[in-house]
Structure 1
Amino acid sequence: MTCRTRLWSKLPYPPGPKGLPFIGNALDIDRKRPHLTYAQWGKTYGDIVYTRSLGQDIVVVNSEKTARILADGRSAIYADRFRSSIFRIYGTDRMTPVLEYGNEWKTHRRLFHLSLRNDVVDKYNDLHLTNANQLLENILRDSANLFEHFDLFAGAAAVELIYGRRVEGKDDPVFAMASGLAEVLCRELTPDRVVLLKILKVDGSVRYLPSWFPGAGFKRNAAKCRGMAAEMAELPFAMAKDEMTGTILKTVALVMILYPDVQDKVHEELDAVVGRGTLPTFADRPRLPYLQAVLYEVMRWSPPSPLGLPHVTTASDTYEGYYIPKEPGDRAMAMKDQGYGDPERFDPTRHLTSDGQLSPQARQNNSMFFGFGKRVCPGRFFAEHSHWAAAAVMLSALKFGKAKDSSGKYIDVEPVFSDGLTRCPAPFPCSITRRLVE
């Protein structure tokens, strides 16, 4: 330990909840929705919270400002990942999102940056529009399987980006295998499970537990994944990331039903700018600020990945007079609450100026949902273009409304979301009609 570290270690930890002997705050954290616990702690203790759980230090960052100071401004310190055996168990330990900070990870990031940086993603616009038009055709042909069409749209983009080949349908062998893996990863590689294996001090030996051992049942699914994951390189995690795009579209459809006035305004803007009966292109995007504001608000109102994978520090640090030890888990914030009044209300005008244009900081505010620092999602610009194309094409031609039951009464829709790596709306009944030219 250096002299500076010894001096820093005399500083207090950030404020946080008092824990029990040995187990700390392990019983206080909602295992299914830990972000809710962390958000509540943020309201009680402030922007940065310290907790200890089963011997593991955890620092919870509860404001965008603090996250940018630490993860962006001191990125080399806050860019590592947990050494968790769960990634080896599922065969994903060599995939970019979970690689330890080092030369191999840097090589991966450089390669992603070459093809996915902001100034080159326009070359994929035709791909996005082709897939968006196919999405529209699929919905018009079979509206009962709406979620399946959204998942196909998102996964097809990942397959074409990585393999350079079109996906013709859900039975495409590469898509079918990768989507199955992505589904398992989203369901099983939850942040709480990643951390749990680490803090239980069984990280190196859990892979030897038999699958019938209590609490080790997840290993049965893991065994099925390892071989396929090795064959498909980055694709399963890429599709798990693209689950975010599919999730956004599912939330868009949900919002159109819950907030029909918002849908009316989107339709009015599309009709005025593009023309009713005409499908939009990326040339129309700058003239559709309300649609873009709706997509930003979808991200804020229901973040697709409210917690994400934790960052880990590679060195001790200080912040605001507090000591942050080496290797604590750095967790996510209550993102929907960041500087917004009445955060549960869906309101696209949060992202607009008084004259109806996008506010100068709107895109920057939205960027926090893709992560911070060196671990920011490399595909964020690709994803933004993808879900814009799908939403613009879909909403120019379709209207979403409440479905009716057998007696002709409208069925109320409640916003219910699943938990896991991705927070996705549960299936809901809806009516989808085509907007005909007037």
Structure 2
Amino acid sequence: MPYGERWRKERRTFHQHFHQGVVDRYQPTQIREARRCLNRLLADPDDFLHHLRHTFAAAVMNIAYGIDVLTKDDPYITTAEIAIGSLSESSVPGAFLVNQIPILKYVPTWFPGAGFKKKADYWRQVSDDMLNKPFETVLENMASNRGTAVPSVTSKMLQDLPVEGDNTDQFELIKHIGAAAYSGNSDTNLFQTVSAVQMFFLAMAKYPQVQARAQAELDEVVGSSRLPEFSDRPRLPYINAIIMETLRWQPVTPLAFPHCSTEDDEYKGYFIPKGSVLFGNTWYILAILHDPEAYPEPERFMPERFLKDGKINANASDPGVAAFGFGRRICPGRFLSDRAMFSVISSVLAVFNITPPLDERGKPKALEPAMTRGIVRNVVPFHCIVRPRSSAAAALIRAHGE
């Protein structure tokens, strides 16, 4: 969407529901889904990558629409994953020849090399479904419950509309706010949070000393008779440092989503014609986050780099500044994402050990981070062993089952 009044209005409205001062109201949902994630990991640890995707998607769907998603093959999640995947694929520079030869957009669908048109038609339909179907579900629920529905961002905005008058424009605004909460309306989104936490699992398997130190902190602050809560967070500096290091270690956005210049411009002597496609180069940000002067031994996962005297170092360069985008397009959902990461990471470390898979001789396999190609880099699927820390930890997980 081009920068303009509509963009500003959507941004303002989204901010009203997801700024730092209000996201704490969503903590019960995030904690509930984190507990559900623990139970799924206990029941089927080999499918941990799926459980993580489901956990974050379920939390956001409930917050945005009041919808409880299915454990497997949920249509809302499937639709959104296809839509976001299409956005990532289509935004890679050079992925489609039509971006280099614009006249190709006029060739018929059956023409050799015009497969991009079929893809575009399919992706457009999926994107429309992602925008409309959850919204329609909320409307149906409100109609069947005399104007009320499960509390959510969408139902709250609908209930605040005037009873009389034409609300067509407001309906469109509300639909886009709900979809933005789920899919992202800037350079970061839900699936980047998922990729980051999946990479956290790899880091814990690869760096057992980091995992052990984090668990020691949790044992001291939280104990073994309960699970972490958000109220514990100020006393868990090492857990917070792990979240920061997870964002720094393997950034999931090598290129920001492309935008188009709306008028001729000049930047540091470079002329930028109107209509130019522009990328915020986060490989440049990767260079910043892996700058050895700012982050010694940048390829290593070292949360302690953000600590000083047992606390988060206020002077340390915060990787979240780069990981969540920049400028007017900085991710407005970054505060929700931060809290989602804390709820899952702290809960998992409290009750599970994450170790590398074993080879045929029973020795740990070496794990190395690998990401897919795209605007949003996903973690290349990997295996690790996820086991309860003790029988008491397993019992604690079950005690929080539903």
Work out whether residues 241 and 303 of structure 2, in 8 Å CA contact, stay in contact via their aligned partners in 1.
yes
TM-score (norm 2): 0.76
Percent sequence identity is: 31
Q: Which of these residues, 235, 239, 243, is aligned with residue 183 of structure 2?
A: 239
Q: Which amino acid aligns with 1:158?
A: V
> What SS does structure 1 have at the residue aligned with 2:386?
strand
**1:267 aligned partner:** 215
What CA distance in whole angstroms lies between the structure 1 residues aligned with 2:96 and 2:377?
18
**1:13 aligned partner:** none
> What SS does structure 2 have at the residue aligned with 1:381?
helix
> What SS does structure 1 have at the residue aligned with 2:30?
helix
Tell me the CA shift for residue 101 of structure 1: 0.9
> What SS does structure 2 have at the residue aligned with 1:153?
helix
Compute the RMSD of aligned alpha carbons: 2.5
Task: Please state which structure has a larger fraction of its residues in helix.
Answer: 2
Gaps of 5+ in 2: 132-175, 289-293, 394-402
Q: Which of these residues, 210, 213, 219, is aligned with residue 109 of structure 2?
A: 210
Tell me the CA shift for residue 432 of structure 1: 1.1
Q: Which of these residues, 147, 151, 166, is aligned with residue 68 of structure 2?
A: 166
Alignment of 1:253-264 (within 5 A): 253-264=201-212
What CA distance in whole angstroms lies between the structure 2 residues aligned with 1:301 and 1:379?
21
Tell me the CA shift for residue 285 of structure 1: 0.8
What CA distance in whole angstroms lies between the structure 1 residues aligned with 2:382 and 2:109?
38
Q: Which amino acid aligns with 1:231?
A: D
> What SS does structure 1 have at the residue aligned with 2:311?
coil
1:373 equivalent in alignment to 2:334: no
**1:396 aligned partner:** 350
Q: Which of these residues, 331, 334, 349, is aligned with residue 280 of structure 2?
A: 331
Q: Which amino acid aligns with 2:334?
A: R
Work out whether residues 29 and 63 of structure 2, in 8 Å CA contact, stay in contact via their aligned partners in 1.
no
**1:224 aligned partner:** 122
**1:190 aligned partner:** 91
Work out whether residues 289 and 357 of structure 1, in 8 Å CA contact, stay in contact via their aligned partners in 2.
yes
1:340 equivalent in alignment to 2:284: no
What CA distance in whole angstroms lies between the structure 2 residues aligned with 1:220 and 1:318?
37
Distance 1:272 1:307, change over 3 A: same
Gaps of 5+ in 1: 1-98
Count the aligned residue pairs: 334
Work out whether residues 256 and 400 of structure 1, in 8 Å CA contact, stay in contact via their aligned partners in 2.
yes
Work out whether residues 46 and 385 of structure 2, in 8 Å CA contact, stay in contact via their aligned partners in 1.
no
Distance 1:381 1:145, change over 3 A: same
Work out whether residues 195 and 379 of structure 2, in 8 Å CA contact, stay in contact via their aligned partners in 1.
yes
> What SS does structure 2 have at the residue aligned with 1:269?
helix
Work out whether residues 245 and 319 of structure 2, in 8 Å CA contact, stay in contact via their aligned partners in 1.
no
What CA distance in whole angstroms lies between the structure 1 residues aligned with 2:55 and 2:316?
26
1:428 equivalent in alignment to 2:369: no
Distance 1:193 1:246, change over 3 A: same
What CA distance in whole angstroms lies between the structure 1 residues aligned with 2:117 and 2:37?
35
1:128 equivalent in alignment to 2:30: yes
**1:102 aligned partner:** 4
Q: Which of these residues, 242, 265, 284, is aligned with residue 294 of structure 1?
A: 242
Tell me the CA shift for residue 406 of structure 1: 4.2
**2:142 aligned partner:** none
**1:90 aligned partner:** none
Tell me the CA shift for residue 430 of structure 1: 1.1
1:249 equivalent in alignment to 2:194: no
> What SS does structure 2 have at the residue aligned with 1:192?
coil
- After superposition, the C-alpha distances for 1:157-198 in whole angstroms (9 at most, x for unaligned) are 232232122224223332333233333333x23331589744
> What SS does structure 2 have at the residue aligned with 1:341?
coil
Tell me the CA shift for residue 336 of structure 1: 3.3
Q: Which amino acid aligns with 1:227?
A: Q
Work out whether residues 229 and 236 of structure 1, in 8 Å CA contact, stay in contact via their aligned partners in 2.
no
What CA distance in whole angstroms lies between the structure 1 residues aligned with 2:111 and 2:97?
19
Tell me the CA shift for residue 337 of structure 1: 3.1
Work out whether residues 253 and 323 of structure 2, in 8 Å CA contact, stay in contact via their aligned partners in 1.
yes
TM-score (norm 1): 0.70
**2:56 aligned partner:** 154
Distance 1:149 1:118, change over 3 A: same
> What SS does structure 2 have at the residue aligned with 1:433?
strand
What CA distance in whole angstroms lies between the structure 2 residues aligned with 1:318 and 1:181?
34
Work out whether residues 205 and 354 of structure 2, in 8 Å CA contact, stay in contact via their aligned partners in 1.
yes
Q: Which stretch has the larger CA shift, 232-241 or 385-394?
A: 232-241
What CA distance in whole angstroms lies between the structure 1 residues aligned with 2:98 and 2:306?
40
